[in-house]
Chain A
Amino acid sequence: MIGERRSGQFVTPGTPLAIIEEFLPGPGTYVEGCYVYSKITGYMLLDTLNKKVSVYPAVKSPNVPTVGSIVLGIVESVNFKSCDVSIKVVGRRKLSGSLMGVLHISDASPHYVESVFDVCRPGDYIKAEVISNKNRTFHLSTVDRNLGVVLAFCSRCGYQLSKENRRMYCKRCKNVEKRKASSEYWVLT
């Protein structure tokens, strides 16, 4: 079943790579029966020293955030204790759809905040880090200086807010609001 093989060989999903007695399954592989198979399209890596076979992907992996990913999203709904974020960008890659994330008040800011309404409001663009994917939910954090709201809109008139000192100011209706703004707050002209 397994013919001639070498490291760097191009493999497609389902290609048998080794017998389980020969090699341990590494990333990009799976075991069924007595064989190690590839589960992605890529290049086979045979680690003869550690007796491990893995597949280095040739295709982009599915755009799903992992713990530590920096994501960009839109705030969907806000409660006192948490808010829902619709994740649109993971790292530098845009999602073809979106994924839901949750930002809890305890992960929103390095300081004490009264409610999540002082962190973000629905419609805001927010940059956050994924800190956990427990319970199949992406838990977000905006504690870091460069994380937080990157673009906010006035909740009275809808005009974009500008960051002035530590407050968010609406140039159109002179409204002043609170946000946990990122140090990378966008300046739109």
Chain B
Amino acid sequence: MEKSEKPLITEDGLRTDGRGPRDLRPVKIEVGVVKNADGSAYIEHGKNKILAAVYGPSEVHPRHFALQDRALLRCKYHMAPFSVQDRKSPAPSRREIELSKVIREALEPSLFLEYYPRTSIDIFIEVLQADGGTRCASITAASIALADAGIPMRDMVVACAAGKVDGHIVLDLNDIEDKNGEADMPLAMMPNKGLITLLQMDGLVTQEEFKQMLELAMEGCNLIYQIQKKALKSTFIKTVEEV
């Protein structure tokens, strides 16, 4: 990625893409886009374009992975070779494997896995275009896909990042801000419960800045949650009208 010569935040307080420091990128969500999956969702979060599909509950393969008291949740996060500027090898990288684990662990507390023992629920996340904050958008999309699959959930999961760029606390970092900024903090939460399921951070911030970032990220999550709800609602209200 090119190192930007321009400041990341201008004197008027605007960011590289013209947003204010507390603005979210435009989010667009579609539900049920993958016909053969049990549940699916497509999210456009700024320039991120991500597809999530859920299969299951079904037989675990290989069989010895099966858990006797609950369903096995498996998650695969994958970036398409054309999703970034330089071609990405389609083989799973170290980063993708870790993100798969992180996303799985962010979603796990929201599901009633004990309802389907000895089965597996598989989530496949395909990043078609990446521009910073893919893990957050992936979690948001995967949660909708799970809801679309009808899997009983305690709550939806939404994710949003906050960070520090050029000394300012900002919401929803894009790729340039993520790479050239001081800190990035992705956060996933269950909005109705106010429970955090994922919290990561890189960079250096003070305790006070951390608190501000946490608050801002939670605000962002609540904004995305409204969009998530609207997406689900419009999908099913439309289907009712068609019938």
Complex contacts, A113 vs chain B, CB 8 Å: none
Complex contacts, A136 vs chain B, CB 8 Å: 68, 117-118
B94 at the A interface (CB under 8 A): no
Complex contacts, B152 vs chain A, CB 8 Å: 13, 30, 39-40
Chain A residue nearest in CB terms to B151: A62
- Which size class do A's interface residues fall under? 20 to 34
Which of these, A15, A59, A97, contacts B236 with CB under 8 Å? A59
Complex contacts, B193 vs chain A, CB 8 Å: 14, 32
B192 touches A64 (CB 8 A): no
CA distance A10 to B229 in the complex (A): 9
A131 at the B interface (CB under 8 A): no
Chain A residue nearest in CB terms to B39: A59
Assuming the contacts A14-B155, A58-B236, asked whether A96 and B59 have C-beta atoms less than 8 A apart, the reply is no
A41 touches B59 (CB 8 A): no
Of A14, A30, A58, A86, most buried by chain B (CB within 10 Å of CB) is A14
B147 touches A96 (CB 8 A): no
Of B58, B110, B229, most buried by chain A (CB within 10 Å of CB) is B58
A96 touches B150 (CB 8 A): no
A13 touches B36 (CB 8 A): no
The interface bits of chain B over 148-169 (1 if a CB of A lies within 8 angstroms of the residue's CB, else 0) are 1111111110000000000000
B150 touches A41 (CB 8 A): yes
Complex contacts, A24 vs chain B, CB 8 Å: none
B116 touches A64 (CB 8 A): yes
The interface bits of chain B over 12-26 (1 if a CB of A lies within 8 angstroms of the residue's CB, else 0) are 000000000000000
Complex contacts, A10 vs chain B, CB 8 Å: 232-233, 236-237
Within 8 A of B (CB), among A49-102: 57-64, 86, 95-100
B210 at the A interface (CB under 8 A): no
The interface bits of chain A over 96-131 (1 if a CB of B lies within 8 angstroms of the residue's CB, else 0) are 111110000000000000000000000000000000
Distance between B67 CB and nearest chain A CB, rounded to angstroms: 11
Complex contacts, A14 vs chain B, CB 8 Å: 110, 153-156, 190-193
A62 touches B150 (CB 8 A): yes
B112 at the A interface (CB under 8 A): yes
Distance between B89 CB and nearest chain A CB, rounded to angstroms: 28
- Give B residues with C-beta under 8 Å from A: 36-39, 55-59, 61, 68, 110, 112, 116-120, 147-156, 190-193, 228-229, 232-233, 236-237, 239-240
5 smallest CB-CB distances across A and B, nearest first, come from A97-B58, A14-B155, A13-B153, A59-B150, A58-B236
Query: A40-B147, A59-B149 given. 14 additional CB < 8 A pairs?
Result: A12-B156, A13-B153, A14-B153, A41-B148, A41-B150, A60-B38, A62-B57, A64-B119, A86-B59, A97-B59, A97-B120, A99-B119, A136-B117, A136-B118
Q: List 9 A-B contacts (CB under 8 A).
A: A13-B154, A13-B155, A37-B154, A41-B147, A62-B38, A96-B58, A97-B55, A97-B56, A97-B61
- Give A residues with C-beta under 8 Å from B: 10, 12-16, 30, 32, 37, 39-41, 57-64, 86, 95-100, 136
